[in-house]
Amino acid sequence: MLTEPGALSVVSVPEPSCGPGDVLIRMRGTGLCGSDLAVHAGHRRPPRLPWILGHEGTGRIVELGSAVSGLHTGQDVVIEPDYCCLTCAPCRAGRTSACAGRAAVGLTVPGLLSDYVVAPAAFVWPVAPRLPLEDLVCVEPATVARAAMRRSGIAPGQSCLVIGAGSQGLLLCQALVGHGVTVFVQEPNEARLDRACSLGATPLPPDTDGLPCLFETSGAPGVIEQALRRLATPGTAVLIGMNTSPLGVSPRDLVAGQITLIGSMIYDHPVDFAQTVSALESPTPPRLGAVVSDGYALEDVQEAFTAAYTAAGKVWVDLS
């Protein structure tokens, strides 16, 4: 539990109870991402303290609610950690990522860095047994990446720029390369750049421009304005990373450059998560765990968060 910004403690709490439409899950692993770090550092306030962090989780079902069907105990699952209402206008239109009533695990409701969690059965996805935990803790951020790729409309044979090679940027590089796209990557951290190259990306050559698409994953202020100069006319910029700085580009530049800006917020239920889980069970599944660089035990969770700020790849906590 986060007790104050930057301070985590392992504590004992009562086992959660399973409601009629819920499942009780014995967690096996939880990944860490930029949203977790923002809460950990105090840049994003949780509803209260102490607070359970984490939203990229996998585990095994140990109990079913009385109204749950289609799942069984002992089943390995991943959790889709954005519980949309399914009744508002955006949800009915298939844009559940825009649901105003969405419960965001680890951000607005308690998270997954716990031995046991309860989740609504509608947001629990069975996965094939014996898949590596390193792959499974990456399913949620991989779904964010794949949703951004889908929304961009980029086609095999095209080229693009990925800005930022943190865990989200790495998973995006992996997805784009697997889609048949030539990926250039811009990342100042040499270890992260090397990992992106190991996934099939290429460092951005100097003065490269005329690219049809770019993906901004870092959220670093000022980066988007510079990157837009790399785009072809017309071009598409997909914004995934978030910050609160004003966008330093004029409407005139956007119009003259015929630039399409797409804000890609998480994923849409159920299509995006279903596609990622399906890909894991394909004859040539993506090795999502290739982006993982460090794993920690729960008792070392403070060290895990410290490492995640600068790690060369995804950091996760082993709860098995």
The torsion region of residue 54 among left (phi > 0), alpha (psi -120 to 50) and beta comes to: left
Predicted local confidence at residue 247, as pLDDT: 86
Instruction: Retrieve residue 36's tokens.
Output: 């977790």
Question: What pLDDT was estimated at residue 77?
Answer: 98
pLDDT of residue 234: 96
Phi-psi map region of 47: left, alpha, beta (phi>0 left; psi -120 to 50 alpha): alpha
Query: Would you write out the chain's pLDDT as a tens digit for each of its 320 residues?
Result: 999 999 999 999 999 999 999 999 999 999 999 999 999 999 999 999 999 999 999 999 999 999 999 999 999 999 999 999 999 999 999 999 999 999 999 999 999 999 999 999 999 999 999 899 999 999 999 999 999 999 999 999 999 999 999 999 999 999 999 999 999 999 999 999 999 999 999 999 998 999 999 999 999 988 999 899 999 999 999 999 988 888 889 999 999 999 999 999 999 999 999 999 999 999 999 999 999 999 999 999 999 999 999 999 999 999 99
Q: Which residues contact 320 (CB under 8 A, 6 or more apart)?
A: 28, 29, 133
pLDDT of 1 reads: 96
**SS (HEC) of the chain:** CEEECCEECCCCCCCCCCCCCEEEEEEEEEEECHHHHHHHHCCCCCCCCCECCCCEEEEEEEEECCCCCCCCCCCEEEECCEECCCCCHHHHCCCHHHCCCCEEECCCECCCCCCEEEEEHHHEEECCCCCCHHHHCCHHHHHHHHHHHHHHCCCCCCEEEEECCCHHHHHHHHHHHHCCCEEEEECCCHHHHHHHHHCCCEECCCCCCCEEEEEECCCCCCHHHHHHCCEEEEEEEEECCCCCCCCCCCHHHHHHCCEEEEECCCCCCCHHHHHHHHHHCCCCCCCHHHHEEEEEEHHHHHHHHHHHCCCCCEEEEECC
